[in-house]
Amino acid sequence: MVEGTRSRGGQGFGLTTLERRAVEEHAMKLAENHLTSKGYFCEITSAYKPFDILASNSTEKFIVEVKGTTSTGAHIIMTANEVKVHREQSPNNALYVVHSIQLIRESAGFSPAAKGGVLVISKPWNIDQHEMKALAYQVKL
């Protein structure tokens, strides 16, 4: 893992479900390892909250959104609930993007795996300082 900056390119739609899971799990592991190395306790909340990690120590508590991508990380995909909670929790929030992850694709009897990547941290993260574009709309009939 290398800490760095973002370049052009973004999260795409070209991965299979298993490949996407391998990239996401790898990014989560890197984020959790970084936070614990800085003395934070990490509660992994991605299964039941609209953010991935609740990080805390004796003096602060904040939410963390983790995004992993095999691209250069210039764009990320967020749900409406993720955007909402980061607006509500700012400045007690952070964005961890792990870009340029290397994907080892699925092959005979082996699930896909991920390694490497560059960790970029925005803390606190003001989501409204970024351009957002709707990718889908729910149309009620």
What digits encode the pLDDT tens for the residues 22-77? Answer: 999 999 999 999 999 999 999 999 999 999 999 999 999 999 999 999 999 888 99
CATH number of 2-129: 3.40.1350
For residue 5, pLDDT beyond 90: no
Convert the pLDDT of each residue in 73-131 to its tens digit.
888 999 999 999 999 999 999 999 999 999 988 777 788 999 999 999 999 999 999 99
What type of residue sits at position 116?
G
User: Residue 6: its pLDDT value, please?
Assistant: 40
In a 3-state reduction of DSSP, which class is residue 4?
Answer: coil
Instruction: Let me know: does 27 contact 67? Beta carbons within 8 Å.
Output: yes
User: Residue 105: its pLDDT value, please?
Assistant: 84
> In the 8-state DSSP scheme, what is residue 77?
-
Residue 139: which region, alpha, beta or left (left: phi > 0; alpha: psi -120 to 50)? beta
pTM: 0.85
User: Residue 13: its pLDDT value, please?
Assistant: 57
User: Residue 34: its pLDDT value, please?
Assistant: 98
Cα dist from 92 to 63, 79, 127, whole Å: 7, 19, 12
Q: Across the chain, what does the average pLDDT equal? A: 89
For residue 1, pLDDT beyond 90: no
What is the Cα–Cα distance from 65 to 46, expressed in whole angstroms?
Answer: 9
134 pLDDT tier (thresholds 50, 70, 90): confident
